[in-house]
Chain A
Amino acid sequence: QSVLTQPPSVSAAPGQKVTISCSGSSSNIGNHYVSWYQQLPGTAPKLLIYDNNQRPSGIPDRFSGSKSGTSATLGLTGLQTGDEAEYYCATWDSSLSAAVFGGGTQLTVL
């Protein structure tokens, strides 16, 4: 059971918008930055968002991040079939003194 809760799956049509939620607590999301990762099948994860809403160079602005209280959200607009992947949120947990990941959300672009 993950410390951070994500929906197991989301889906949307090409060109549409989707959001993925990540719920935590005051010991993790509530007091620490959140990052988001994309993992395509058979590959290593890739950093999409850091510090709640910052994009590394090379990540298109179709990807966005936000945080409110003890929850964070990843937004994707203009969905493409190439966006089909597993998405993970991550943060630090001060009670555990450990980094924690969400359970992952499988995005399907119908």
Chain B
Amino acid sequence: EEQLVESGGGLVQPGGSLRLSCAASGFTFSIYNMNWVRQAPGKGLEWVSYISSGSDTIYYADSVKGRFTVSRDTTKKSLYLQMNSLSAEDTAVYFCARGSPPQFDSWGQGTLVAVSS
């Protein structure tokens, strides 16, 4: 069964950092492009970042550019999102999603990041 499982969310103070992980299983992770998409409480979906299968192409939303870094480890079948300089506006459930935008064909269950003092 194809599965994506996010982890690493939690409560962090403004200005702090957090690293999210997304573990893939049940499919050949190395050949798929991957994304992070977030959803603030009670709000809509917001695409955050894209990384190609070979990590040679990376895109970020303007709202996180310069603060977030996406990466992947094929040997560990994992996707990562390093988040720095966090603010309250970054509070959201973060989903990892497989595919090339805008076709995200598999999603994780999400991990909640709460930024508060």
Contact = CB atoms under 8 A, between A and B. Distances in A.
**Residue of B46, B95, B101, B102 with highest tally of chain A CB at under 10 A:** B102
A2 B44 contact: yes
Chain A interface main SS type: strand
B45 A50 contact: no
Q: Of B46, B59, B103, B109, which is in contact with the most chain A CB atoms at under 10 Å from its CB?
A: B103
Contacts of B108: 44
Interface residues of A, number: 29
Interface string A26-48: 00000011110101000111110
Interface of B: 35, 37, 44-47, 50, 59-62, 95, 97, 101-105, 107-110
Interface of A: 2, 32-35, 37, 39, 43-47, 50-51, 56, 86, 88, 90-92, 96-104
